[in-house]
Amino acid sequence: MASLKDLKNRISSVKNTQKITKAMQMVAAAKLRKAQEAAENARPYAERINSVITNLAGSMIGVGDAPELLVGNGKEDTVLLVVATADRGLCGGFNTNIVRKAREEIVALEGQGKTVKLFLIGKKGYDQLNRLYHDNIVKFISLKEERKLHAGIAQSIGETITEMFRNGEFDVCKLVYSKFVNVMTQDAVSNTLIPAIASIDEESEDTGPDLKGAIYTYEPDEAGILRILLPRNINTQIFTALLENQAGEMGSKMTAMDNATRNAGDMIDKLTLTFNRTRQAQITSELIEIISGAEAL
Amino acid sequence: MANKLHFSLVSPERELYSGKVDQVDIPGTEGNFGVLPDHAPLMAAIRTGAITVYENGAEKQFFVQGGFADVTPAGLTVLAERAAPMSELTSERLQDDIASAKDSLIGLEGEAALAVQQNLDGLNAVAATL
């Protein structure tokens, strides 16, 4: 059995761990509130831009010179998978869930004989996917240096992706990230970024605002608007994904750290019990020694 | 005026304005235009400049950079790439933007150069009013 001193050391070390996890939980809770707020603030923009595109796309489908970002370039051979994860660990299964979703996608796509390229955002996803799919990774970005998420980050990522598409490096682009449902639940999802038309069919039945019979005027023309709007839609979707991820990471971290704190508490209780038992046993045995010594006299 | 226009200004980061107003003046790529209640549906690209909101005789100005104005019977929504209330705008930040826009203009040609030039003109015009 461990000595009293050993037990004491263990108790104090678990107590220190508990302090750390408790502090991390509180930090995560504070950050979660901010992240949730940011995600909510960004929502109107994303919703509006989506409905505008839906609206415009309807009139552009079937037109010969529809932009490739909207309808695709006619091929589906090479798929660029943009996987957004967190840069830090200690947040439960958050990163693992996203990576698992990404792996499912990769396996499914490769099963169909397609080439998969990976564009990774976030260090944790890179660490996990690098082991299995090292040769598929074409780009990796870490956002560790950014203190606060802003639209500029998403813009530069979006521009990189659009540029790659224009250079013909891939045909279809999918974005894998974690959708923030609530603090306990985050769903890893994958959305199609390019062609934009695929994501419209998938999710929204929104047919745009009711115009009461009036006809939209476009300034400049529809094609001109779409040309500016489509890259921006990609940026917005990436930005939304990053924000959702951030909120999810913090929520997941909060839950994980809450569990860790509780486990540490349980462990302290158990160790304290053993410590007291050992101490009492020691006192009892000392007493027996003294008494039997006195009787022998 | 009985009728009011529902106006909301959103940037990717936040919603800056939402409410009923009398009139909004917008810098479109094809020229400035004003939106009054019951405007016909319109979708217009906007350039760098100032949006002016008129409400109960008071004027409020916002700086916008790139984006769209979407007029529907439900109201006017401006989706701006970047937006800020004029009062939050500092001339140092504008000068930074002007400098970087000038830098990126070097070596550009055709349509891209035109877009940057338009941005630069807008920035200069806003800087002049500060």
Quick: pLDDT tens for A246-261: 999 999 999 999 999 9
- Average of per-residue pLDDT across B61-76: 88
A45 to chain B, minimum CA–CA distance in Å?
Answer: 6
Nearest to A219 among B13, B15, B45 (CB): B45
- All residues of chain A having their beta carbon less than 8 Å from the beta carbon of residue B30 are 219-220
Question: Nearest CA to A237 among A26, A40, A47?
Answer: A47
A158 to chain B, minimum CA–CA distance in Å?
Answer: 13
Q: Is A219 on the interface with B (CB under 8 A)?
A: yes
Q: Is A213 on the interface with B (CB under 8 A)?
A: no
List C-alpha distances in Å: A243 to A13, A97, A120, A178. Answer: 36, 17, 16, 10
Helix (H) or strand (E) holding A15: helix A4-60
List C-alpha distances in Å: B28 to A112, A224, B33. Answer: 46, 13, 7
- Average of per-residue pLDDT across B89-109: 76
Helix (H) or strand (E) holding A27: helix A4-60
Helix (H) or strand (E) holding A253: helix A222-296
Q: Is the pLDDT of residue A213 over 70?
A: no
pTM: 0.84
Question: Nearest CA to A162 among A67, A226, A234?
Answer: A234
Window 19-58 of A, Cβ < 8 Å to B: 38, 41-42, 44-46, 48-49, 52, 56
Catalytic residues of A: 91
Hey, which bits of chain A come out as E strands?
78-84, 115-121, 137-141, 172-180, 186-194, 217-219
Q: From CA A82, how far away is CA A88, in angstroms rounded?
A: 18
B15 to chain A, minimum CA–CA distance in Å?
Answer: 6
Structure-token pair, residue A274: 């053993």
Give the best-scoring range by mean pLDDT among A20-24, A206-210, A211-215, B16-20.
Answer: A20-24
- Residues B25, B37: contact at Cβ < 8 Å? no
pLDDT band at B113 (very low <50, low <70, confident <90, very high): confident
Window 88-127 of B, Cβ < 8 Å to A: none
Nearest to B10 among A48, A217, A225 (CB): A48
Q: Is B44 on the interface with A (CB under 8 A)?
A: yes
Q: What is the DSSP string of chain B?
A: ----EEEEEE-SS-EEEEEEESEEEEEETTEEEEE-TTPPPEEEEE-SEEEEEEETTEEEEEEEEEEEEEEETTEEEEEEEEEEEGGG--HHHHHHHHHHHHHHHTT--HHHHHHHHHHHHHHHHHHHH-
Q: Is the pLDDT of residue B53 over 90?
A: yes
Phi, psi of B81 (to 5 degrees): -65, -45
Phi, psi of A188 (to 5 degrees): -75, 125
Question: What one-letter code names the amino acid at A182?
Answer: N
- All residues of chain B having their beta carbon less than 8 Å from the beta carbon of residue A235 are 12
Average pLDDT, chain B: 84
Q: From CA A53, how far away is CA A235, in angstroms rounded?
A: 14
Nearest to B15 among A41, A151, A229 (CB): A41
**Could B12 and A236 be called an inter-chain contact, meaning their C-beta atoms sit closer than 8 Å?**
yes
Residues with Cβ < 8 Å from A64, sequence gap 6 or more? none
- Residues A18, A263: contact at Cβ < 8 Å? no
B76 to chain A, minimum CA–CA distance in Å?
Answer: 11
